[in-house]
Amino acid sequence: MHIARTIEDLREHLAAYRRPAFVPTMGNLHDGHLDLVSKAKPLGDVTVASIFVNRLQFLPHEDFDTYPRTWDSDCEKLRAAGCDVLFAPDEKVLYPEPQTFKVHPDPALGDILEGHFRPGFFTGVCTVVMKLFCCVQPRVAMFGKKDYQQLMVIRQMVRQFALPIEIVGVKTTRADDGLALSSRNGYLSEAERAEAVQLSQALRAMAEAVRSGERDFAAIEARGMAALRERGWQPDYLVLRRRSDLQAPAAGEALVALAAARLGGTRLIDNLEIDG
Ligand SMILES: Nc1ncnc2c1ncn2[C@@H]1O[C@H](COP(=O)(O)OP(=O)(O)OP(=O)(O)O)[C@@H](O)[C@H]1O
Ligand SMILES: CC(C)(CO)[C@@H](O)C(=O)[O-]
Ligand code: BAL
């Protein structure tokens, strides 16, 4: 695996390829990330991952400084997964001057849910993803459905800027008990880790309610929020939305349940597409 620390080196290394398949990450890799890499491999003629903890998408009170950085084991895992090129720029390489020119998502999608509770988050994500796309120039890029709204925002950015990149959404990898794998799970104490499964269970309970014919979505959401609060969680949102644009659903529209909630000091997100 070639490790590129500069944009020049990356470009030189990719010059011979026509169809890079790209997996952007913030590192601290787990099986969810590695699934993205293995699904990328057959889609391109070279597989590229990036590791960059992007300051622009963190609010001042968030965990930029403490975000887990596990370079050696990340490299080992990427090598074992068959990644060909790792782009790992430092901040001075990706942001040699203050990044005052930013990519702002459509507020109708970017300012709700995650964007509401983390103002500026999707501007930070879109700006760095656009920049990483310019560096790597992939033909295909992989994003996890775990970050459902992020995937939708990136798809809209790529569509509206006519970027020649196919965006592939990858199914969420879960632990045996159902908890979505996430780097931030590492912040959980043993007791919190045992409790954390309740977030995916809350989503499943919402899906069950819908499947059993309940149509008062506000009541389903309120019940779920109350149940989480009772167990000591601080939910930001637990909602049923239509899949097309994450707005409030009308009858018969395909649904997704989305949640973000804090357990102790750890903020977790998850979602579940509801069939039928
Ligand atoms: N469990 C998972 N299943 C599928 N894709 C995932 C999973 N976890 C992360 N990804 C995807 O991997 C890519 C990189 O994500 P990132 O490095 O932020 O990891 P993360 O585990 O989501 O971290 P965090 O805890 O900071 O949210 C994103 O496209 C993300 O959606
Ligand atoms: C897409 C991404 C790598 C941009 O920093 C990040 O938001 C993530 O890891 O999901
Ligand atoms: N996994 C998405 C990046 C973030 O939450 O900061």
User: Is residue 71 in some structural domain?
Assistant: yes
User: With bands split at pLDDT 50, 70 and 90, how would you rate the model's confidence at 276?
Assistant: low
Pocket of ligand 1 (CB under 6 A): 25-26, 32-33, 36, 143-144, 146-147, 170, 172-173, 180-184
- Is 176 part of a structural domain of the chain? no
Alpha-carbon gap, residue 33 to 144, rounded angstroms: 8
Average pLDDT, integer, range 168-178: 98
Are both 135 and 91 inside the same structural domain?
A: yes
Question: Do 144 and 256 sit in the same domain of this protein?
Answer: no
128 and 203 in a single domain? The answer is: no
Residue written as token pair 């790992």: 88
- Kindly state whether residues 163 and 188 are assigned to the same domain: no
- Distance, in Å, from the CA atom of 235 to the CA atom of 237, rounded to the nearest integer, reads 5
Q: Are residues 17 and 68 in the same domain?
A: yes
* 276 located within any domain: no
Closest ligand relative to 38 C-alpha: 1
Domain boundary among 139, 170, 201: 170
Q: How confident is the model at residue 251 (pLDDT cuts 50, 70, 90)?
A: confident
Shortest-distance ligand to the CA of residue 32 = 1
**Final residue in a domain of this structure, among 170, 202, 224:** 170
Given the CA of residue 114, which atom of ligand 3 is nearest to it?
A: 5
| Residue 207, domain extent | 183-271
Does position 106 have pLDDT exceeding 70, yes or no?
Answer: yes
Q: Judge whether residue 167 has pLDDT over 80.
A: yes
- How do residues 144-156 score in pLDDT, each as one tens digit? 999 999 999 999 9
Name the closest-CA residue to atom 8, ligand 2: 25
Strands 255-263 and 266-274: antiparallel
* pLDDT at residue 209, as a whole number: 97
Residues 68, 166, single domain; the answer is yes
Does 32 count as an annotated binding residue?
Answer: yes
Position 111 in a domain: yes
Pick the ligand that lies closest to the CA of residue 54. Answer: 2
Residues 69 and 95 in one domain: yes
ipTM: 0.98
* Gap from CA of 270 to ligand 3 centroid (Å): 12
- Is a pLDDT exceeding 90 seen at residue 173? yes
Residue 130 is assigned to a structural domain of this protein: yes
In what order do the strands lie in the sheet containing 140-144? 2-4, 85-87, 46-51, 20-25, 140-144, 166-170
Name the percent of the chain lying above pLDDT 70.
100
Residues 105 and 8 occupy one common structural domain: yes
| pTM for this prediction | 0.98
Does residue 29's CB lie within 6 angstroms of at least one atom of ligand 2? Answer: no
Cα-to-centroid distance, 272 and ligand 2 (Å)? 20
Task: Output b/e per residue, 48-57; b: 16+ Cβ within 10 A.
Answer: bbbbbbbebb
178 within some domain:
no
**pLDDT of res. 201:** 98
For residues 138 and 261, membership in a common domain is answered with no
Rounded mean pLDDT, 214-233: 97
For residue 115, being part of any structural domain is answered with yes
For residue 144, the ligand 3 atom closest to its alpha carbon is 1
Number of domains in the chain: 2
Residue to mutate, 147, 155, 181, ligand 2, most ligand atoms under 8 Å from C-beta:
147
Mean pLDDT over each residue of the chain, to the nearest integer: 98
Which residue's CA is the nearest one to ligand 2's atom 10? 25
Question: Ligand 3 atom closest to Cα of 269?
Answer: 5
Considering the domain architecture, whether residues 62 and 164 belong to the same structural domain is answered as yes
33 catalytically annotated: yes
- Domain end point (choices 170, 193, 226): 170
Identify the three-state secondary structure at position 256.
strand
Cα-flanking dihedrals φ and ψ of residue 44, to 5°? Answer: -140, 180
Residues 207 and 259 in one domain: yes
**pLDDT tens digit sequence for 33-69:** 999 999 999 999 999 999 999 999 999 999 999 999 9
Identify whether residues 38 and 161 lie together within a single domain: yes
CATH number of residue 263's parent domain: 3.30.1300.10
